[in-house]
Amino acid sequence: MVTNEHLARRLDTDDAWIRTRTGIRRRHAVDPGQATSDLAVEAGRRALVCAATASVDAVVVATTTPDHSCPATAPAVAARLGLTGAAAFDISAVCTGFVYGLASAAGLIAAGVAERVLLIGADTYSTIVDPLDRANAIIFGDGAGAVVLRAGHPDEPGAVGHFDLGSDGAHEDLIMVAAGGSRQRSRPGEPSRQDRHFGMRGKEVYRHAVTRMAESARATLSRAGWKTDDVDHFVPHQANLRILHSVADDLGLPRERCVTHVESVGNTGAASIPLALADAAAGQTLRPGDRVLLTAFGGGLTWGSCLLTWPTLPAPAPPYDPHAQGERTTS
């Protein structure tokens, strides 16, 4: 766990400055040698236990921080979970990855390709964010969350409903790791330190994020014939608290219906929505049959929204004990 006080010791900032601008109090970081797949496997294991199933037909991992540029991370995750033989692939839509993954998993089921799909959102931003970058090091954290989807009926609790997905690649430079891909590798010379790390133009991203998430959420509600008052819980991508509240205000949703978890974990990319859902479920904020609106925005630019009803779930799986794995805790 990395607190604001810990960051203040190496960055020109303090706890009050971070909380005022982001709402974040702490975030988590993997230990040296840990990778995205390690978090994804644990989240996937817990989701399988929660779903009372030992097998799925496909594994989808939404991530911006794969273990390797080649191959995808999902097949290795599937193998470590004992799911060798299942279809497995990654989705790269940055912070919109989980919503894109939901649409992909629902499509596999609707097409008859799979009966059950394990969807994992997992990111280790500490591996790509410059630790000396005052603007971004305070925002991002590492984490993973997972769900199991199965074939069902639209009128039962847990049904995934309408989607809205979009992108605008003309603004790809707003959120980017410039080095490491074929564009940079095809050019002579070594990349700069800045190009090797995650970059984000915060003020422009803020404007796009609020506008795109609100527009996407409205489009999804319209397709379903829902009104804003029909939404019991609004779960946006946990970018920062100011963005979450701005989108809720734009939609005319009371802030108390906005599920937030960013205070405790920061912006965890594709993991942020499932982590927020897991936290709300553990606190019994989400109850079977509740109508939930998800919306996200990420690099690409990408955005997307989804409607669902909350399922009946068994007791949560045993919590992950980081100390049993030798993880370092920083307070």
What's phi and psi for 58, nearest 5 deg?
A: -155, 150
Q: What is the pLDDT of residue 315?
A: 63
- The domain boundary residue, chosen from 123, 150, 177: 150
Q: What is the pLDDT of residue 313?
A: 86
Does residue 281 sit in the same domain as residue 219? yes
Integer Cα distance of 94 and 239 in angstroms: 12
Does residue 22 sit in the same domain as residue 46? yes
Q: Which residue has the tokens 């499509």?
A: 107
| pTM for the predicted model, two decimal places | 0.93
Q: What is the pLDDT of residue 92?
A: 97
Q: What is the pLDDT of residue 198?
A: 95
Cβ-based neighbours of 159, under 8 Å, separated by 6 or more: 152, 153, 308, 309
The DSSP line for 70-138 is: SS-SHHHHHHHTT-TTSEEEEE--GGGHHHHHHHHHHHHHHTTS-SEEEEEEEEEGGGTS-TT-HHHHT
- How distant, in Å, are the alpha carbons of 61, 108, 181, 198 from that of 188? 33, 42, 13, 21
Integer Cα distance of 86 and 116 in angstroms: 10
Let me know: does 39 contact 274? Beta carbons within 8 Å.
no
- Expressed as residue numbers, the domain containing 248 is 159-310
CA dihedral 79, 82, 84, 88 (to 10 degrees): -60
> What CATH number does residue 300 fall under?
3.40.47.10
| Successive 10-residue mean pLDDT values, the chain, 331 residues | 94 92 95 97 96 96 97 98 97 98 97 97 97 94 97 91 97 96 92 94 95 98 96 96 96 96 96 96 92 97 97 66 41 29
Does residue 69 sit in the same domain as residue 144? yes
Does residue 233 sit in the same domain as residue 134? no
Does residue 69 sit in the same domain as residue 183? no
Q: What is the set of active-site residues?
A: 95, 237, 267
Does residue 184 sit in the same domain as residue 301? yes
List the beta bridge partners of residue 233.
292
Let me know: does 18 contact 24? Beta carbons within 8 Å.
yes
Q: What is the pLDDT of residue 326?
A: 39
Let me know: does 1 contact 325? Beta carbons within 8 Å.
no
Instruction: Let me know if residue 195 belongs to a domain.
Output: yes
